[in-house]
């Protein structure tokens, strides 16, 4: 672990089809006004269904900005972080991982967590098990799994904090409960890690 890690200490936690409009009166009688009303009703229903599908597709914890790796590369994440002058929070996960899903639902979905991430961090998720995409790290070209290993993510979930230039600061494996996660966000997001340990930061915050 690079400079800054010694100050951290230990954390604890865990698709269109054609639309056939049927004659609403029947028997070959065509009534334009009634047909118009029917069309409006059908389009209203279709719009409602579309909105519902979009909401469900977002799912919990997806309202805030995040980048998926892949298709994004670590280089693209670093480029955005440097432009925003914001540290990187990299969530290393796997689709099959129940604790990764729990963190999305119980931690990342929290309004306070989302707000702080949006304001202070460049947030990215690395799918460790994907076979697509490559990343440049420390002069090497790595797969997503290799990148996870290079960052010290031996298991999932693992939360990695990095400087805007991609320099790792610290990592925390496992599920992290919301209160501790918020403290970690404030600790790294404020830059306090450069001056004091996490234990000292927590003690001062509780005073």
| Residues 89, 29 within the same domain | no
Give the residue from 40, 58, 76 where a domain finishes: 58
Strands 134-137 and 168-173: unpaired
Phi, psi of 87 (to 5 degrees): -65, 160
7 compared with 93, residue with greater pLDDT: 93
Q: What is the mean pLDDT of residues 63-82?
A: 86
pLDDT value of residue 102 = 98
- Residue in the structure block whose two tokens are 């298709």: 71
Same domain as 145, residue 51: no
Q: Confirm whether 14 is domain-assigned.
A: no
Listed range (34-48, 145-159, 189-203) with the worst mean pLDDT: 34-48
Between residues 57 and 167, which one has the greater pLDDT?
A: 167
pLDDT in tens, 9-65: 444 444 333 222 232 323 344 444 544 444 454 444 344 333 333 233 333 333 346
For range 144-161, the mean pLDDT: 96
Question: Do the domain assignments include residue 190?
Answer: yes
Q: What is the mean pLDDT of the chain?
A: 78
Q: Residue 87 pLDDT > 50, yes or no?
A: yes
Which of 5-14, 51-60, 171-180, 182-191 shows the lowest mean pLDDT across its residues? 51-60
Q: Could you give the strand order of the β-sheet that contains 158-162, starting from the edge strand earlier in sequence?
A: 67-69, 122-127, 88-93, 158-162, 168-173
Asked if residue 104 and residue 39 are part of one domain, the reply reads no
- Identify whether 17 is part of a domain: no
Is residue 90 located within the same domain as residue 136? yes
Separation CA 150–CA 142 (nearest Å):
9
Query: Residue 160: which H helix or E strand, with range?
Result: strand 158-162
143, pLDDT greater than 50: yes
Q: How confident is the model at residue 116 (pLDDT cuts 50, 70, 90)?
A: very high
Q: What is the pLDDT of residue 131?
A: 84
Give the number of domains in the chain: 2
Q: What is the pLDDT of residue 65?
A: 60
Domain that holds residue 134: 64-205
Q: Is residue 8 part of a domain?
A: no
Q: What is the mean pLDDT of residues 169-197?
A: 97
CB of 113 within 8 A of CB of 185? yes
135 neighbors 67 (Cβ within 8 angstroms): no
Distance CA 111, CA 94 (A): 24
pLDDT above 60 for 108: yes
CATH number assigned to the domain comprising residue 127: 3.40.30.10
The pLDDT of residue 70 is 85
Q: pTM of the entire structure?
A: 0.70
pLDDT at 103: 98
């Amino acid at each position: 672990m690079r400079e800054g890690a010694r100050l951290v200490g230990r954390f604890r936690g865990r698709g269109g089809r054609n639309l056939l409009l049927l004659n609403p009166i029947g028997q070959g009688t065509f009534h334009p006004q009634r047909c118009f009303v029917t069309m409006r009703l059908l389009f209203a229903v279709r719009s409602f269904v579309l909105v519902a599908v979009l909401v469900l597709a977002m799912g919990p914890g997806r309202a805030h900005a995040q980048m998926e790796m892949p298709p994004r590369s670590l280089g693209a994440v670093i480029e955005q972080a440097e432009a925003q002058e914001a540290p990187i929070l990299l969530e290393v996960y796997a689709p099959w991982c129940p604790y990764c899903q729990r963190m999305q639902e119980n931690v990342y979905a929290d309004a306070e967590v989302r707000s702080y991430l949006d304001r202070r961090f460049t947030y990215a998720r690395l799918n460790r098990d994907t076979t697509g995409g490559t990343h440049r790290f420390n002069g090497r070209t790595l797969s997503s799994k290799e990148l996870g290993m290079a960052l010290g993510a031996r298991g999932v979930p693992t939360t990695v904090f990095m400087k805007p230039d991609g320099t790792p600061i610290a990592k925390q494996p496992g599920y992290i409960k919301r209160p501790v996660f918020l403290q970690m966000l404030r600790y790294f997001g404020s830059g306090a890690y450069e001056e004091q340990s996490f234990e000292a930061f927590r003690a001062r915050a509780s005073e």
